[in-house]
Amino acid sequence: MKEEIPVLKGKTKKELEEICVSLGLEKYRAAQIYTGIYKSRYTTIDQFTTLSKEVREKLKQHTLYPEIEIGRDLVSKEDGTRKFTFYVGENKEIEAVWIPSGDGGRKTICISSQIGCTLNCKFCATGLLEYKGNLHTWQILDQVLQVERLVGDHATNIVFMGMGEPMHNYFSVMKAAHILRDQDAFGLGALRITISTAGVTTGINRFIENKEPFNFAISLNHPNPNARSSVMDVNDKHPLDKLIDTAKRFTKELDRAITFEYVMIPDVNMGRDNAERLAKIARSVNKCKINVIPLNTDFTGWRRPTDEEVKDFVMHLKAKTTAPILNRRSPGRDINGACGMLALKGIRSETTK
């Protein structure tokens, strides 16, 4: 059986050492390759000028240095958010979003972990897509490399909240997160990287057992165990009571707060009763914060809440819990780049490509 040609991107320093040794190169070359990929952000092997021409030729002959292909590049006229569509194979598209803060201090890239999604959250457009596979670690990291190159700036924060369920691609996601954190690579702090899940408890437990250092978010979206499945089908396999027990374990064993993401949908998960249920969950978990997000999609027939409805819901929530509550803005709505909108074509804005 023919041995697969190794891809240099997405590899740890140790894996690069193994590749170097297999090619008859000195092991220390791995560190030069590693920093060249992730810190210097070289786009071709010829740019690795710390390596001799002979070493570069050997790498070109025996390894691969691919990149995902940019397709659409949409820019929001409202807030400067940019949504990028990348091709990762025939009829396989993913999206990543560049989200600058209003003051220019925080620059976030929202990246994808799967092609399509294994789940079907009713408010999320990605759930309507056919699942076409997990992304490799190099494809996850290349979203960051490509977006930063295209916008001409570096991110301060990375969130795994794009297409796909990160816990269903756990090992590639966590490997990418550790490379993003490494000071010899991207150099982001662990708390500037957020891993998200729709509530896959097996993945959360693995995260806890491995004592991962990254921020963690759970997309909750309904506080009623009997009604959550109507919004998120993940609840059928990972019921809410089990999810909350796992969140309690997270805060107790890792001694860190967890974030609950809550998409507000009028007549579905809002109102005083649901605010009180959500507050009760927050009190039971103890160390948590709640990000409330107005619904951005309308393909289900559900509507976005009014500002008054949001204000009323948050008021009832604050009356029952001391957990920090953030009303998250929805950047990039005009290009279909906001929460739940990835996979929708941003036809209302101009392409910058």
Q: Which amino acids are annotated catalytic?
A: 95, 339
Known binder of ligand: residue 196? Answer: yes
Q: Where are the beta strands (DSSP E) in 79-131?
A: 82-89, 92-100, 107-110, 114-115
Q: Are strands 215-219 and 193-197 parallel, antiparallel or unpaired?
A: parallel
* DSSP letter (8 states) at residue 306: P
Known binder of ligand: residue 219? Answer: yes
Residues 6+ apart with CB under 8 A from 217: 159, 161, 194, 195, 196, 197, 258, 259, 260, 261, 291
Distance from C-alpha of 271 to C-alpha of 202, rounded to nearest angstrom: 31
Joined tokens for residue 217: 């978010």
* Sheet order of strands, 215-219 included: 69-75, 82-89, 92-100, 107-110, 157-160, 193-197, 215-219, 258-264, 288-294, 325-327
Known binder of ligand: residue 296? Answer: yes
Known binder of ligand: residue 221? Answer: yes
Known binder of ligand: residue 288? Answer: no
Residue pair 280/239 in contact by the 8 Å Cβ criterion:
no
Distance from C-alpha of 150 to C-alpha of 96, rounded to nearest angstrom: 12
Known binder of ligand: residue 24? Answer: no
Known binder of ligand: residue 110? Answer: no
* DSSP letter (8 states) at residue 2: P
Residue pair 335/75 in contact by the 8 Å Cβ criterion:
yes
Known binder of ligand: residue 20? Answer: no
How big is the chain by its Cα radius of gyration, in Å?
A: 21
Known binder of ligand: residue 124? Answer: yes
Half-sphere exposure of residue 131: CA atoms within 13 angstroms, side-chain side: 13
Distance from C-alpha of 196 to C-alpha of 194, rounded to nearest angstrom: 6
Binding-site annotation, residues? 117, 121, 124, 164-165, 196, 219-221, 296
Q: Which residues are annotated as a binding site for [4Fe-4S] cluster?
A: 117, 121, 124
> Which residues are annotated as part of the binding site for S-adenosyl-L-methionine?
164-165, 196, 219-221, 296
